[in-house]
Amino acid sequence: MILRNLILLGIGIVGFVAVIRVLLFKTGLIHILKIWWRCFEDCFHVHQFFKVPEFNESMQENQLYRKVSLYLNSLSALEDSDFTNLVTGKKPNDVVLCLDPNQTVEDNFLGAVVTWTNGDGIARDNSRSFVLKVRKADKRRIVRPYLQHIHTVADEIEQRKQRDLRLYVNIKSYHHDDGGIERWRSAPFSHPSTFDTIAMEDDLKNKVKSDLESFLKAKQYYHRIGRVWKRSFLLYGPSGTGKSSFVAAMANFLSYDVYVIDLSKVSNDSDLSLLLLETRGKSIIVVEDLDRLLTEKSTAVTLSGLLNFMDGILNSCCAEERVMVFTMNSKEQADPVLLRPGRIDVHIHFPLCDFLAFKTLANSYLGVKDHKLFPQVEEIFQSGASLSPAEIGELMIANRTSPSRAIKSVISALHTDGEGRGFGKIGTRLGNNGPMKSVVEAADTGGLVRCESGPTVREFRKLYGFLRMKSSKVSHSPSFDSTLSQKEGS
Ligand SMILES: Nc1ncnc2c1ncn2[C@@H]1O[C@H](COP(=O)(O)OP(=O)(O)OP(=O)(O)O)[C@@H](O)[C@H]1O
Ligand SMILES: [Mg+2]
C-alpha cells in the first residue's frame, strides 16, 4: 500500500515538474526566471566596469569601439534578446542587428559571463560608448584574452564583409586640363553570377574554388620562389558557354574588382603597360576574345607587348595579389607561345551543354529536378546534338512559366540547330564563323522566333541583347588542365 502510494506520489511529482517545465518554456517565463537568478547571483559578486568610448581624449576615433560594435552586433545572444534594432546593411537586402541605446547583451568567455551595455546617449555630452561588466573574480583570468578574442573576431568579420566591388573599363587615354591622363572608367560591379549559378561539373567548380583559395594564402610561398603573386586563367570554349559569367563569379567569390581591358582601344604596347600600372591589387584583370583580337589583328598591341603584359616585370608593381583571366573561343587559333607551359597557369574548357549541364540549368531556371521529357532530351544529346548553355538558358527563361513548354522548346531547338554540335559527332566541327542557324525565344513574343545567321541574327541580337552565335566547337566535358602544378598555391 505504502509502495503504491510512493509510486503514485513519484508519478505525480514527475508530472507536475513536466507541466511546470512545459509552461515555463512555452510561455517564455523561463527567461524571466533566468534574469531573476542572474540578479540574485550578482548580489554576491563584486563587479568591475570597463568603458570603451568612441573617441579618445584627443578626439581621435577609438578603433576598439568599432571592433566591439562589430563583435557585439554579430553575437547570437543579440538575436535572442527581447529587443534589438534591425537596420539595413551595406547592400539593400542585408539586415543587420544592432544594440539599442542602453541595451545590455550577455556573452560567455572561458566559462565566465560578461555583459555589455550600449552606453549611447547615457553620457551628458551625448558621446557614444560601450560598457563591459566583468566579475572581479574573473577579471584577471579573462579580460586580456577576451579583448584579444574581440579583435580577432572583428577582423574576420571585416574581411568577410563584401567590399563594394567596381568594374573598370579602359578608355582611349583622356588628357585632362590639369595634365592628368585618365585611362580607366569605373562603375559599381553588381553582377549576380556566382559559382552556384554556373552550370558546370561540381568537381571542376570545387577545383577552381580551392585553387583560388590556396592562391590567396600563398603570399609567402610566391615570395620564397621569387614569383609575382598572381595567378592567370585561360577560359576557352564556344560562345555562350559561360566564360564571362565565370569571371563575374570569380570576382564575387574573391571580392575583387574587375578590370576589363579592351585591347582594340589600346594604342600601343606602352599604353598597355601603363594601363596595368594603374590597376590596384586584389583585382581580376580580364582580356576577352584574345584569339579573335590576335587573328583579326584588331589591336595595335604586338604579341611581345602582350607577353610582357602577361608575365613581365610590370606585374610586380603591386604587392597585393591579382588574378588575370584571358578568354578565347578556341585554343587552335591562338599562338602557341601564348599557351606555353608556365605562361597561363590554369586552362579551363567551357563546352557546349551535355545532358548533365542541361539538368543543372533546368533545375536552376525552371526549378525542375526531373521531368517526363528528360529521357527524350537525353536521347537527343546522345545523338550528338547540343546547344550552348546560353541558348538553352534563354529558351528556359522565355518559357519559365511552363517547364513542359520550356523543355519542348529546347528539344525542338536541339533538333533544328543543335545537330552535330554536340560531343556525339566527334570530328564534326564548324568553323568559327561557319554558317549556323540560331533559335532563340523571346519572352515577350510569346512564341519561338527563328533566325538564320547573318543580318537577321544581328538585328535580333540588337533587339533582345542575347545569344551570340558565332562559333562552335566539338566538346565533351569541362576540363581543368593546369599547366602548373596545382600544389603551387598550397
Ligand atoms: N555554364 C553556364 N551556366 C549557367 N548559365 C550560363 C552558362 N553559360 C552561359 N550561361 C548564361 O548565358 C549567358 C551568356 O553567357 P556568357 O556571356 O558568360 O558566355 P561566354 O562564354 O562569355 O560567351 P562569349 O564567348 O560569346 O563571350 C549568360 O547570361 C549566362 O547566364
Ligand atoms: Mg564572354
Q: What is the pLDDT along the chain (490 residues), one digit of tens a residue?
A: 788 888 989 999 999 888 888 877 777 777 778 778 877 877 777 888 999 988 877 777 788 998 999 898 888 777 767 777 887 766 666 677 788 888 888 888 888 889 999 886 555 666 788 999 999 888 888 899 999 999 888 887 777 665 678 999 998 877 777 666 788 999 988 888 999 889 988 888 888 988 888 887 777 777 788 777 888 999 999 999 999 999 999 998 888 899 999 988 888 888 888 888 888 888 999 999 988 888 887 788 888 888 888 876 666 666 667 899 999 998 887 888 888 887 888 999 999 999 999 999 999 899 999 999 999 999 999 988 889 999 999 999 999 999 999 999 999 999 887 776 665 433 222 223 322 222 222 222 222 222 222 333 333 333 333 323 333 333 333 345 543 233 333 3
Give 387's contacts (C-beta < 8 A, 6+ positions apart).
352, 353, 410, 413, 414, 417, 418, 421
Q: Please list, in sequence order, all residues whose beta carbon lies within 8 angstroms of the beta carbon of residue 120, skipping any fewer than 6 positions away.
A: 101, 102, 128, 129
Neighbouring C-beta atoms of residue 66, cutoff 10 Å: 14
Residue 112 phi/psi, 5-degree rounding, is -100, 145
Question: What does the DSSP 8-state code read for residue 163?
Answer: P
Q: Which of 104, 126, 160 is the last residue before a domain boundary?
A: 160
Task: Please indicate, yes or no, whether residues 134 and 58 belong to a single structural domain of this protein.
Answer: yes
* Cell, residue 391: 541558348
Q: What is the pLDDT of residue 102?
A: 82
Q: What is the pLDDT of residue 285?
A: 94
pLDDT (0 to 100) of residue 125: 63
For ligand 1, say whether the CB of 473 is within 6 Å of any of its atoms: no
Say what the pLDDT of residue 325 is: 95
Q: Where are the alpha helices (DSSP H) in 2-62?
A: 2-27, 29-42
Total domains in the chain come to 3
Ligand 1 site, residue 396, Cβ cutoff 6 A: no
Would you list the DSSP string of 101-153?
Answer: TT-EEEEEETTEEEEEEE-TTTSTT---EEEEEEEHHHHHHHHHHHHHHHHHH
Q: Which of 115, 141, 160 is the last residue of a domain?
A: 160
The residues, ordered by sequence, that sit 6+ positions from 342 with a Cβ below 8 Å of its Cβ are: 311, 483, 484
Say whether both 146 and 212 belong to one domain.
Answer: no
Is the confidence metric ipTM above 0.95 for this complex?
Answer: yes
pTM: 0.61
Adjacent-strand bridge partners of 84: none
| 131 and 249, same domain (yes or no) | no
Place of cell 590639369: 178
| Domain housing 272 | 166-351+479-489
Distance, CA of 250 to CA of 209 (rounded, Å):
8
- How many CB atoms sit inside 10 A of residue 255's CB? 14
pLDDT at site 178: 66
Do both 207 and 285 map to the same domain? yes
> Atom of ligand 1 at shortest distance to CA of 353?
1
Residues 171, 274 within the same domain: yes
pLDDT for 147 = 93
Cβ 351 under 6 angstroms from ligand 1 = no
The pLDDT score that the predictor gives to residue 55 is: 83
Asked whether residue 203 is domain-assigned, the answer is yes
Cα angle for residues 282, 286, 287 (degrees, 5° grid): 155
In terms of domains, do 182 and 293 share one? Answer: yes
Handedness of CA 356, 361, 367, 371 (dihedral sign): negative
What is the reported pLDDT for 254? 86
- Distance, in Å, from the CA atom of 489 to the CA atom of 484, rounded to the nearest integer, reads 10
198 occurs within a structural domain: yes
Residue whose CA is at the smallest distance from ligand 1 atom 9: 242
CATH number of the domain residue 173 falls in: 3.40.50.300
CA–CA gap between residue 48 and residue 39 (Å, rounded): 16
- Co-location of 294 and 415 in the same domain: no
pLDDT value for 462: 32
In a domain, 1, yes or no: no
CA gap 333, 351 in Å, rounded:
17
Q: Cβ(268)–Cβ(233) under 8 Å?
A: no
Domain annotation covers residue 281: yes
- pLDDT (0 to 100) of residue 122: 59
What is the rounded radius of gyration, in angstroms, for the C-alpha atoms of the chain?
Answer: 31
Nearest residue to 414 (alpha-carbon basis) of 446, 442, 381: 381
Check if the beta carbon of residue 199 is closer than 8 Å to that of residue 290: no
Is 12 inside any structural domain? no
CA nearest 200: which of 364, 423, 424?
Answer: 364
* Ligand 1 probe mutation, 196, 208, 241, most atoms within 8 A of CB: 241
- Do 393 and 485 belong together in one domain? no
Q: From the CB of 390, is ligand 1 less than 6 Å away?
A: yes
* Residue where a domain stops, chosen among 160, 186, 206: 160
pLDDT tens digits along 436-474: 222 222 222 222 222 222 333 333 333 333 323 333 333
442 and 377 within one domain: yes
pLDDT number for residue 454: 30
| Cα of 323 from ligand 1 centre, angstroms | 20
Q: Give yes or no: residues 266 and 177 share one domain.
A: yes
In a domain, 470, yes or no: no
CA 252 – ligand 1 centroid, Å? 16
Strands (E) located in 297-395: 322-328, 346-349
Confirm or reject: Cβ of 389 under 6 Å from ligand 1: yes
- Phi/psi for 110 (5° steps) reads 45, 45
| 367 and 322, same domain (yes or no) | no
- What's at 244, amino acid-wise? S
CB distance 242 to ligand 1 below 6 Å:
yes
What does the H/E/C string look like for 85-107? EEEECCCCCCEEEECCCCCEEEE
Residue 29 in domain: no
- At residue 113, what is the residue type? V
Which sign, positive or negative, has the C-alpha torsion 206, 169, 458, 447? positive
Q: Is residue 366 part of a domain?
A: yes
CB of 331 within 8 A of CB of 243?
no
Closest CA to 475 of 329, 292, 295: 329
pLDDT given at position 288: 93
Measured CA to CA, the distance from residue 343 to residue 470 in angstroms comes to 27
Which of 191, 244, 472 for mutating ligand 1's site (highest number of atoms within 8 Å of CB)?
Answer: 244
Cα(217)–Cα(487) distance, integer angstroms:
12
Asked whether residue 296 falls in the same domain as residue 231, the answer is yes
Q: Whose CA is nearest to atom 27 of ligand 1?
A: 239
> Which ligand 1 atom lies nearest to the CA of residue 193?
31
Q: Grid coordinates standing for 123?
A: 553620457
